[in-house]
Structure formats: structure tokens, C-alpha cells
């Protein structure tokens, strides 16, 4: 593949200014420019946040700045002979810190202090509400880059980490790893359950009423996977029925989250706008991946993070 003109699709502005990525890619051999939907015929490859059907007719290679690729029609990429790569592997630190931060907030009641501050209220939680995450059991569902990023940091603060993955082989910072068929065994004693799996046919709707019933009544759900992994109606029911203590949710089936959703209203549900991976150096990590793959493309070598 000969990449002579690389485009940065203007949809990356949803995450960071495209000009930052343009500057970071200044040293690559191809010409690099910021492009819109009307400019795709002028480039050989494109870095993007959103999918466009026009990619399949106009470019040889598409790189997504996200790790998840469920919004990209992989079969169509295969049929069109267009290479598709993603940004897997760069979010372990940011998402791991997000997950640990939210677990600490829930345990130490930090969110209630912030709410009280807004009301100028000198208020303390009941004596038996706060707890420490040290020695608390955490189950991480999905042990790719995101899940291992969570496990590493949770282990660092003394949590007892177990995991669930398709192949139940132990990974660093986990004490035990279960297969998907043993999901309920993996989550039944966990104080926190963190979802970090990709969205697939197998994981869509993975957490529903049976899973919430299997969890402890004082357990918290953390979702940094995809919203569709959780059945939101069942989650609301579990919260209403006291089957869960709360949740930290960064992803939702429909985004932005509907202003009328009941998930906004629970004191112990922390809502964030699909921002767990956000960090100011995000574009630098993307640039490193793209730089590598430009070299690989022009040398007819295998792409890093090739999905299709």
C-alpha cells in the first residue's frame, strides 16, 4: 500500500482539536491534512472518530481513534478491501484511573461531599457509610488493555482482583480468572464489578436481572465497556429494588443519556459522558499508532491493531 496523502477527518474534533494531531504527525512522509466528508477523494487513508460509508469507496486504510469498533461495519471493510485499524492498547492508564477514581469516590463518599458543597451544607455521611477499597473484592469482566489497566491499579491499592475473560488464563494483577460460563460465580462475592469487555454478539445485554440478582446487595457496577453490555431497564429495577448499592456509568445504550432517564437521579449512580479515556495527551498516543502504521503500510508490512 502506498500512502501519499493522509487525512484527519474533522469528526476527531469530538475528542480533541484535529490541529493537534496534524502537528503531531508533521514528521510522517505522506502529506497530512484535515478533511471533511467532501474531501475524501483526495486522501489514501483517514484517521477518524466517526464512520462514513464513503470511506469504503475512497480510501485504502481507515484508522479509528477509539478502541471499540462496534460502530464500524467490518464485513463491509473486508468486502471493499479497505484496511481498518483501531486504537486498542492506549487507554489502559486513563480508563484504569477513571475506574479506580469512581470506586474510591463511591467508597469514600466523595460525590456526596461535592453535592453538599454545592448546597453550602456542612454535612457528613452516617458513620457506617464510608469504607476503604483496601482488601475489597473486585471482578473485572474483560481483561484486554482496559481491563488489565483497571486490574493493575486496583491491585496497587490493595483490592482483591479477579477477572472474567473468554479464555480463563490468569493475567497480571488478578488472583483468579473465570471463563464466561462461570460469570455468576465470579461476581457473586465482589464489592465492585467493572465491565471492560468489547461489545460483541456474546456481550450485548450480558448484564441483566439475573446478573444483578447474583451480585451482592452492597455491590457497585462500573461500566467502561459499552452501554449495550448492560440492560438499562434491568439496572434501574435492580437499583430501585435495593439489589445494588450503586453504579459508575460512563457509557449508555443511547448517547447522550436522555435527560429523562432515571439514572441521573440516584445519589449513588455516577454518570459521566463517555469520557473515561479522555486525557490531554490522547492525540499523542493516536499519532504514535498512526506513525507506526504509515511505515508499515509503505513497507507492505502487517498493520498494528488491524481489525479488518
> Of 165, 173, 274, 285, which is the active-site residue?
274
> Of 210, 255, 267, 301, which is the active-site residue?
255
The x, y and z cell numbers of residue 56, run together, are 469504503
255 is catalytic: yes
274 is catalytic: yes
> Of 226, 232, 279, 285, which is the active-site residue?
226
296 in Cβ contact with 2 (< 8 Å): no
Beta carbons within 10 angstroms of residue 163's beta carbon: 27
The x, y and z cell numbers of residue 55, run together, are 470511506
Which run of H or of E encompasses 140?
strand 137-141
Spatial separation of the C-alpha atoms in residues 146 and 70, rounded to whole Å? 16
Q: What is the DSSP letter of 10?
A: G
Give the CA diameter of the chain: 65
Spatial separation of the C-alpha atoms in residues 115 and 130, rounded to whole Å? 16
**DSSP character string of 242-273:** TS-SEEEES--SSSSPPTT-GGGS-TTEEE--
291 in Cβ contact with 28 (< 8 Å): yes
267 is catalytic: no
303 φ/ψ angles, rounded to the nearest 5 degrees: -75, 145
Q: Which residues are catalytic, by number?
A: 226, 255, 274
Amino acid at each position: 500500500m502506498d500512502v501519499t496523502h493522509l487525512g484527519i477527518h474533522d469528526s476527531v474534533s469530538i475528542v480533541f482539536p484535529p490541529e493537534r494531531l496534524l502537528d503531531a504527525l508533521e514528521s510522517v512522509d505522506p502529506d497530512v491534512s484535515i478533511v471533511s466528508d467532501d474531501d475524501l477523494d483526495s486522501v489514501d487513508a483517514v484517521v477518524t472518530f466517526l464512520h462514513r460509508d464513503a470511506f469504503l469507496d475512497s480510501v485504502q486504510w481507515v484508522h479509528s481513534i477509539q478502541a471499540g469498533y462496534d460502530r464500524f461495519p467490518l464485513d463491509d471493510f473486508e468486502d471493499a478491501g479497505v484496511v481498518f485499524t483501531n486504537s486498542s492498547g492506549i487507554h489502559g492508564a486513563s480508563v484504569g484511573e477513571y475506574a479506580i477514581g469512581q470506586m474510591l469516590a463511591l467508597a469514600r463518599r466523595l460525590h456526596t461531599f461535592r453535592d453538599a458543597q454545592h448546597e453550602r451544607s456542612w454535612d457528613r455521611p452516617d458513620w457506617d457509610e464510608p469504607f476503604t477499597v483496601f482488601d475489597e473484592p473486585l471482578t473485572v469482566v474483560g481483561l484486554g488493555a482496559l481491563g488489565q489497566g483497571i486490574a493493575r491499579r486496583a491491585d496497587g491499592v490493595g483490592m482483591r482482583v479477579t477477572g472474567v475473560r473468554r479464555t480463563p488464563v490468569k493475567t497480571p494483577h488478578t488472583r483468579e480468572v473465570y471463563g464466561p460460563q462461570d460469570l455468576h460465580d465470579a461476581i457473586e462475592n465482589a464489592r465492585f464489578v467493572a465491565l471492560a469487555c468489547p461489545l460483541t454478539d456474546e456481550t450485548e445485554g450480558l448484564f441483566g436481572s439475573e446478573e444483578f440478582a447474583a451480585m451482592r446487595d452492597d455491590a457497585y457496577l462500573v461500566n467502561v465497556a459499552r452501554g449495550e453490555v448492560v440492560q438499562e431497564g434491568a439496572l434501574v429495577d435492580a437499583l430501585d429494588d435495593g439489589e445494588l448499592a450503586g453504579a459508575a456509568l460512563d457509557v449508555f445504550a443511547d448517547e447522550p443519556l436522555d435527560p429523562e432517564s432515571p439514572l441521573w437521579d440516584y445519589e449513588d449512580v455516577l454518570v459521566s459522558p463517555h469520557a473515561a479515556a479522555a486525557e490531554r495527551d490522547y492525540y499523542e498516543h493516536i499519532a504514535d499508532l498512526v506513525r507506526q502504521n504509515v511505515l508499515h503500510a509503505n513497507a507492505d508490512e502487517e498493520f498494528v491493531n488491524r481489525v479488518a
